[in-house]
């Protein structure tokens, strides 16, 4: 007989008191069996109509932003672009629930969330343009640099949130991670630290079904990714990532939970990446047109617009105004990316170390000499 075979209450199955720390009831931490949906349910009638219209405007801007960034990539203005088309509800809701003094820790696919935090698109896309490591002032926008290594931003979010708590600041850090990122060690370390430290941080997992070409079924056997929270003593929430109202509601509750001192929350938003992983990816090699078409029927923008129209919460003028604002954003992006950037090669050595090492100074001197010689030769 193994330990698992023994009847409940037998000596081997009784938790030794105070032997390894507290034993917690996992029930309050478990996510609901199905992702939370609000649009199309009676709960939608309780939401502020202006909130829904605001989310709609943000989605329209987000969709046009993705379209324009993709076009810029085809024109050679961007080196690479990982579109968040189909995931815009997660992106705009993540930005909308944060206070101005809260912090966002994004991954490389989350430039829309960065723009929604007030960063200019040309700055948000600097890394993906290939001009510099980073394009905006993190402190001014309370938004960390894009993270291209998977999930490495998650421990940073925990560290900042814990430091803020020690200082008595009631700010919250929200970090976005893809489903592939949940398989990385940094993700697990971040959850463990967050749970132990009771850090005011929210983990938003955008489960779009694929880690590049690897389907979720081949990287996780968990019932849901939200269930992973339980092992770290953290509540897990499961939400329909294509329902903007539901994502906003769940994230707002998670942020309030963290801000109140009750600790971290892991939210899994079930969504779908309608475009390829990046412009360098051929998604037809690992998913079918029928699968994509089925998810297009659940397009977050179309779902919200249909709800607003069906409930007479928006008219043609409101839709036209949102579209006009989106076109103005696209025009701004085209104008800014048409201009050639003014780059300083010496900036490569800035912010590498607080005190440059001898090797770094030597490399900087070498580059400075090469640039001077090049200038003299002109």
Distance CA 165, CA 197 (A): 10
Q: Known catalytic residue: 273?
A: yes
Distance CA 228, CA 112 (A): 27
For residue 109, CA distances in Å to 85, 91, 332 come to 10, 9, 21
Q: Known catalytic residue: 65?
A: no
Please tell me which residue in 142, 162, 237, 277 is annotated as part of the active site.
277
Instruction: Give Cβ neighbours of residue 212 (< 8 Å, ≥ 6 apart).
Output: 180, 277, 281
Distance CA 197, CA 102 (A): 18
Q: Known catalytic residue: 286?
A: yes
Please tell me which residue in 286, 287, 309, 334 is annotated as part of the active site.
286
For residue 154, CA distances in Å to 179, 202, 250, 259, 272 come to 13, 10, 19, 18, 22
Answer for the pair 178, 150: CB distance below 8 angstroms, yes or no.
yes
Please tell me which residue in 57, 63, 273, 307 is annotated as part of the active site.
273
Question: Do β-strands 236-240 and 214-215 pair in parallel, antiparallel, or remain unpaired?
Answer: unpaired
Q: Which positions are annotated as active-site residues? A: 273, 277, 286
């Amino acid at each position: 007989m193994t330990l698992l075979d023994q009847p409940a209450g037998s000596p081997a199955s009784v938790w030794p008191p105070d032997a390894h720390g507290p034993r917690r009831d996992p029930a309050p931490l478990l996510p609901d069996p199905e992702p939370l949906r609000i649009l199309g349910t009676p709960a939608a009638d309780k939401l502020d109509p202006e909130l829904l219209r605001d989310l709609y405007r943000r989605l329209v801007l987000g969709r046009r932003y993705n379209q324009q960034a993709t076009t810029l990539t085809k024109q050679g203005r961007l080196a690479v672009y990982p579109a968040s088309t189909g995931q815009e509800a997660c992106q705009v809701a993540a930005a909308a629930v944060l206070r101005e003094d809260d912090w966002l820790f994004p991954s490389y696919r989350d430039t829309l969330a960065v723009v929604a935090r007030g960063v200019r698109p040309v700055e948000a896309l600097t890394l993906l343009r290939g001009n510099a490591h980073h394009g905006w002032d993190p402190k001014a926008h309370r938004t960390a640099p894009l993270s291209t290594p998977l999930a490495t931003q998650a421990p940073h979010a925990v560290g900042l949130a814990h430091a803020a708590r020690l200082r008595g600041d009631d700010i919250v850090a929200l970090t976005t991670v893809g489903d592939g990122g949940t398989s990385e060690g940094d993700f697990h370390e971040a959850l463990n630290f967050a749970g132990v430290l009771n850090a005011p941080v929210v983990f938003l997992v955008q489960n779009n079904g694929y880690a590049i070409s690897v389907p979720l079924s081949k990287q996780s056997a968990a019932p849901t990714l939200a269930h992973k929270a339980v092992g770290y003593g953290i509540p897990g929430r499961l939400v329909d990532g294509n329902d903007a109202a539901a994502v906003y509601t769940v994230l707002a509750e998670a942020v309030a939970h963290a801000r109140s001192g009750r600790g971290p929350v892991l939210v899994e938003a079930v969504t779908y990446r309608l475009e390829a992983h990046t412009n360098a990816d051929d998604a037809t090699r690992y998913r079918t047109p029928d699968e994509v078409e089925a998810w297009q029927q659940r397009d977050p923008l179309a779902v919200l617009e249909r709800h607003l129209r069906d409930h007479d919460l928006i008219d043609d003028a409101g839709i036209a105004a949102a579209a006009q604002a989106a076109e103005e954003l696209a025009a701004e992006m085209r104008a800014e990316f048409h201009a050639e950037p003014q780059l300083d090669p010496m900036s490569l050595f800035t912010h590498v170390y607080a005190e440059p090492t001898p090797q770094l100074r030597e490399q900087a001197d070498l580059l400075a000499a090469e640039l001077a010689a090049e200038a003299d030769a002109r």
